[in-house]
Amino acid sequence: MCDAHIIPMSYIAKSDLISRYGADLVATFSREDDAVVTMVIAETCAVIDASIGKQIDVPLPSAPLAIKKLAIDMVYYALKNAYAPSTVTDQELANYRMALNTLEKYEKGVLTVADIQTVQATPTISFKTKTRVFGRVS
């Protein structure tokens, strides 16, 4: 159940976008309206929580670097696509798609975030693989 008055934990802030892309660029895409940036950040963090929430309790107390990177890529793309869609680069679209793909892998359990709460400085991502068919000959 979603309550419109509950804002999810923000894994990034407008200052993170400014650090990465510069104040002028962020202001252009947000039309200098902090409410728009805040809303897009909240929506993105809710998507992240929905994806990783099957594995660990959310919201996380702080944002691990891996989650922060996903959030920055997603928010930046959303703002740029909304306010200047003709300027979206192939790399920005690829970063956005990779972020969504990564979240899908967390959601399906292909990637695990089990250690993310205890190892904040260096998040651990594990991969589940099938049994090796071929081996090395010694």
d(CA 128, CA 108): 11
User: Is 62 within the bounds of a domain?
Assistant: yes
3 lies in some domain: no
Distant-in-sequence, close-in-space partners of 138: CB < 8 Å, separation ≥ 6? none
Query: Is residue 57 a part of any domain in this protein?
Result: yes
Q: Tell me whether residue 135 is in a domain.
A: no
Residue 44 has a CB neighbour count (10 Å cut-off) of 24
Quick check: is 136 in a domain?
no
In a domain, 48, yes or no: yes
Residue 79 sits in which domain range? 14-127
Whether 133 is covered by a domain: the verdict is: no
Q: How far is CA 52 from the centre of its chain?
A: 10
Reading the chain (138 residues) residue by residue, the pLDDT tens digits are 344 445 556 899 999 999 998 988 888 776 657 888 889 999 999 999 999 988 888 888 888 888 999 999 999 999 999 888 999 999 999 999 999 999 999 999 888 875 554 444 444 555 555 565 566 666
When divided into structural domains, the chain yields a total of: 1
Residue 79 located in a structural domain: yes
Angle at 58 between CA 7 and CA 6, to 5 degrees: 15
> What is the rounded CA–CA span in Å between residue 98 and residue 129?
20
Task: Write out the two tokens for 67.
Answer: 């989650």
